[in-house]
Structure 1
Amino acid sequence: MSWFCLYLPTTDSGPVADALRDLLARESYEPYDPFPGGTGTPPGLREMVRHFVTPPTDSWVRVVGQPDEVVLPSLQETLAQPLLYGWLTADDGGFALYQDGTRTDDPAALADYLRKGQTLDVLQQAFDGELPVDAVGSDQPPVVVAGAEDLPPELRQFAEDQGVNPRQANKLFKRLSDNLFGKLARQADDEAGDEQAQARAALMGGGGQDVWNNLHGQRVRAIASVLALPANWRTPDFDTIREAYQVHRLRQRSPRMPLMPGDKETLASVPDALDYVPVYMGKR
């Protein structure tokens, strides 16, 4: 699973979609429409860019989907708006700012976009992976991206049930886990470091199958919690929008067509999907 999103502080999504199409066309991309009633996906495309430009929320327009980063500096300059870029992949995750036609990954550059009451020091902690975030899809207490000092909830409860002081148990648990991962680090090469870090995060309570709970996902969510982004900064995601848009387009063309199993839920997942602007382009 990967996630990509552009954020522009504007209340008009039309110029964003128009500028994106124009800049991609300059890079030899051609538009296509794979949805019901469209032209389909042309054969032989070797590169494709697929986006949905969202309606404005909280004075932000999102561009959902993996971009061709070549066009981002020009997109920012064309729209004369700062552009925030967020991403999450299996190997990395973070936020960057495009302004004056250049990209910066320096947290200090985001000072104008801090949520009320937040500071650059807190933002730096988030970028460094040191800011606690709640586990997604869980009622567990906050977990920490790195340097966790609390027992996982299950072990804490077990310690309390056995009459053991959780603080003492935590010290023992941390010493044992540090010893374990220290030995692994000495035995493994550098490429295994990230896997060990993720295993440590899972062991210390940051587990779960949701990608937003891994080290990179926690870091992205921590950064977003400090920035004044729209409330729906990561949802709906690209796949959810695409599936909903597909069914809404089909219903628009054939209102009397009976719904297939699951279509009702898909329609409800993004009820205003037809207000999203698809930007699908490819090149041979």
Structure 2
Amino acid sequence: MNPVTINRGEGPVILAFPHTGTDLNADTAAALNAEGALLRDTDWHIHELYADLLPGVTTVRALFHRYVIDANRDPSGESLYPGQNTTGLCPTITFDNVPIYQAGREPDAVEIKRRHDAFHAVYHRALAAEIDRVKAIHGVAVLYDCHSIRSEIPFLFEGRLPDFNIGTNNSTTCAPEIEKAVADICADAGGYTSVLNGRFKGGWTTRYYGRPADGVHAIQMELAQASHLAAEEPPFAYDPERAGKLRVHLKTILTTLNERALSGALAR
């Protein structure tokens, strides 16, 4: 089972897709219950949503499902949101707090370590290598971490999530001009709602790689799935009309990030 796929470009922007994969290794597939087998918490179709929006972009996509191991969690298992409901490095529940494993078949510490080495570490070695490669070309790299989530999940947050959820770990993972540019584009997108550093402030990927003083700028975009899916229930079908409208704004975001990086203003 190949853990990751990479498409190399020569531009300064890298798109990361840690949660669009649906592959399961045999042991995980056999241990999941009926709810787990639905793969409900996938970032459905996000790699399709961003396809061909920016010439020269590099993409790094995890092919394994987040139920195998979550590539956007701290490998130590430490929570990214202390005191708030969330799921772990190797999730045992859905975002609705429903078990995903058959009784007694949850991964133990040995299995979690094995999955880390076989999947999580492989994905991040690939991502780190692409960041280094892009930075060597341009003196700067912009990592845009691509995510989506269902619009209403009471276990994780109250009410309905905005369409655009921008995360920079409270303005620490990228230059202020990057944060402002993305926030302004989202705020000006007619018919859409947005928030900066709300419920989702950026996961481990954004926090770990975002080092603006060293020329690596990271920003996470969590999209509410109602913005591009026909329905947020199985089969989680892609809605071309909704997605087409959203892609206009996503293209503006990526083009702006690319231009800022190429201008030299972000280089250190």
Under a length normalisation based on structure 2, what TM-score does the superposition of the two structures give?
0.26
Q: Which has the higher helix share?
A: 1
Under a length normalisation based on structure 1, what TM-score does the superposition of the two structures give?
0.25
Larger RCO of the pair (alpha carbons < 8 Å, separation 6+): 1
**Bigger CA radius of gyration:** 1
